[in-house]
Amino acid sequence: MANLHRLPILGSTAAVPVWGPGPLSIARVEEGADDEFAGLLQVGDLAREVGKTVRAIHHYESIGLLKPHRRSPGRYRLYAKDAVARVRWIGKLHDLGMSLAQIQQILALWEQAPSAPEAMRQIRAIYQQKLEEVRSQISRLSLLEREVGASLEYLDTCNTCDPNELVAACSDCTNHDDAQAEPELVAGIYATAEQPKS
């Protein structure tokens, strides 16, 4: 059986018993519950801290991406502070375009790796691929940013057009300098429109 490795951002919960009913629970509460529950977050607190809904937190737990640290005497889920890092990690991977199923696969790769270096190598390979995808997306967005800016500059001259001019005349506009290339974000609007009759 392969050794299991826990992500540092979640921490190990193997040695922490699940809070249960019975005499032991009552005794522990009476002896110092304040110390035992200090720093633990209820699900609503965790949700507010990370900007997620309680439903989302419960869903992450139901699919194995998140585990409560323990239960309160009233059986409420209590989360350690490192759960904040785990939920934010899930959110960042989601922002990178990964589905929850893919995030589950990352955790499975991590936990089933034969050694810590191998686990890190696999995580690094995934992050390297995502970095390349992000850089490619940034490049595409930068091109779009420039074209949107050029389109706005082009459209700024349209306020000199005769207010009574028909929209169909835009495809044969004479207000713009012929040397100024018409941005595709403008030309595409009327590319298949019927040309005005002379």
Residue 110 lies in a domain: no
Residue 129 lies in a domain: no
Return the sign of the alpha-carbon dihedral for residues 153, 155, 159, 161.
positive
* The two three-digit tokens of residue 193, written as one number: 């429109």
Residue 162 lies in a domain: no
Residue 155 lies in a domain: no
Over 50: is that where the pLDDT of 107 sits? Answer: yes
d(CA 175, CA 92): 47
Over 90: is that where the pLDDT of 39 sits? Answer: no
Tens of pLDDT, residues 119-173: 999 999 999 999 999 999 999 999 999 999 988 988 887 776 666 666 665 666 6
Closest CA to 111 of 56, 78, 65: 65
Closest CA to 77 of 66, 88, 86: 66
The pTM score is 0.64
How many residues does the structure list for the chain?
198
Residue 167 lies in a domain: no
Return the sign of the alpha-carbon dihedral for residues 54, 58, 64, 67.
positive
- Structural domain tally of the chain? 1
CATH number at residue 26: 1.10.1660.10
Residue ranges making up the domain that contains 93: 1-97
**Collapsed DSSP state (helix, strand, coil) of residue 70:** strand
- Strands 70-71 and 77-79 turn out to be antiparallel
Helices (H), 54-197: 54-62, 82-95, 100-112, 116-156, 184-187
Residue 18 lies in a domain: yes
Report residue 183's pLDDT band, with 50, 70 and 90 as the boundaries: confident
Report residue 181's pLDDT band, with 50, 70 and 90 as the boundaries: confident
Residue 114 lies in a domain: no
Residue 173 lies in a domain: no
Q: Give the pLDDT of residue 148.
A: 94
Closest CA to 17 of 65, 60, 98, 71: 71
* The two three-digit tokens of residue 195, written as one number: 């040309």
